[in-house]
Structure 1
Amino acid sequence: MVLDKVIYVEMEEQINELDEVIVGKVLTGNLKSDIKNTEGDPPINFFDVGIPGYQGKPATQSERRLHEAGEFKPKMLLGLLTGSIPLNPILNGISGRTKTLKKRVEIETKETLILSIKSRLSKDFLASNPLEDYLVADFFYFCADDENFMKHCKNQSDFKILIFLRMKYRQYKDNLNQE
């Protein structure tokens, strides 16, 4: 059976237009504002589950290695009486590894401090104490090589650090003129 009938359907055009559509939260690009507008629970931390956790400054890799190496102390010899003496501190002390690790931590601490000083104070310092661009890094390492660098710059005000830099600047310029 073949059907040869055609059905015509007449359609009318109708347009529905919405004024504005907002899907989800509106992000402004301002991180502080956008974070306040978000929903959800913050991630779980060690306080939430009642376990102790470290809250201090994270140790650098060299600081962690130094801690792992241990440091020999004479009272460790009392462990001979109980039969338990830690070998790592003794072996690392004999081999010189502990001393090397201490030196590495000291160098990294100086490096971090000099980079901090350079980023904070170099523009103001160099405005009144001019140096060629290629000498700037050399000057700051010259300052860091001073045996009193940490004493004059660590945990000191920017003013005291600038006084130290000015003193080292004179010495640095004198060294350049002698060459």
Structure 2
Amino acid sequence: IKTEKPINFDDVGIPGFKGEPEEKIVPMYFAVTPLSINLEALYKHISGYYKTLKIQRKWEYENNAVAKMLNYYTLPFFTTTYGIPENRVYDFLLFCAETTTIESDFKKENYGSVLLILDEKAKIYAQRLAEENKE
């Protein structure tokens, strides 16, 4: 039987995982227990794989948040309102994301707070750009 739309677990009322599956980071105290040793998890801890995986996920989250903000406010908004050059807008948003709570405010749709943070950080960023251009 051909169907136009495939049946999904939500259509039937069955709970299921939504989202993109990610590798679970096993805590060190679960990797080595008195009765067993998880060699793969132990190796990944020793080699630093889990540490780099955490950092990679953090950066991906930041980059996605910055891309969403840039998509929402658009490039002309930053160039006209704050006087930031087009090639530096992404760097400016990363600067804001690393030094403030702008990501969580944007995710909560608290746009007034986001604009206050942008106003505050734009002044600092403009000063840094001016200092960089003098050198």
1:136 corresponds to 2:89: yes
Q: For 1:1-179, list aligned pairs within 5 A.
A: 42-46=5-9, 53-54=16-17, 56-59=18-21, 64-65=22-23, 67=24, 70-78=25-33, 80-81=34-35, 84-122=36-74, 123-144=76-97, 146-148=98-100, 151-154=101-104, 155-156=107-108, 157-179=110-132
Contact 1:72 1:90 in 2 (8 A): no
Task: Report the TM-score, using the length of structure 2 for normalisation.
Answer: 0.74
CA 174–77 in structure 1, closer or farther in 2 if over 3 Å, else same:
same
Percent of pairs identical after alignment?
A: 28
From the superposition, tell whether residues 138 and 147 of structure 1 become closer, same or farther in structure 2 (CA, over 3 Å): closer
Q: Is the contact made by 2:66 and 2:90 (CA closer than 8 Å) also made in structure 1?
A: no
1:91 Cα deviation after fit: 1.0
Shift of 1:133: 2.4
Structure 1: segments with no counterpart, 5+ residues: 1-39
Question: Residues 25-45 of structure 1, C-alpha deviation per residue, up to 9 Å, x if partnerless?
Answer: xxxxxxxxxxxxxxx664233
For normalisation by structure 1, the TM-score amounts to: 0.58
CA-to-partner distance for each residue in 1:112-169, whole Å, 9 max, x for gaps? 000001111244444322223233233223333x343xx3322341221121111111
Q: Distance in 2 between matches of 1:131 and 1:48?
A: 47
Pick the structure with greater CA Rg: 1
Counterpart Cα distance in 2 of 1:125 and 1:50: 44
Partner amino acid, structure 1, of 2:91: D
> Partner of 1:110: helix, strand, or coil?
helix
Query: How many equivalent residue pairs?
Result: 126
Q: Which has the higher helix share?
A: 2
Larger relative contact order, structure 1 or 2 (CA cutoff 8 Å, min sep 6): 2
Amino acid at match of 1:113: A
Instruction: Name stretches of at least 5 consecutive residues in structure 2 with no aligned partner.
Output: none
User: Match of 2:19, as an amino acid?
Assistant: K
Query: Judging changes above 3 Å, is the alpha-carbon distance between structure 1 residues 52 and 85 closer, same or farther for their aligned structure 2 residues?
Result: farther
Matched residues in 2 for 1:49 and 1:77: separation?
41
1:41–1:138 distance in 2 versus 1, CA, 3 Å: closer
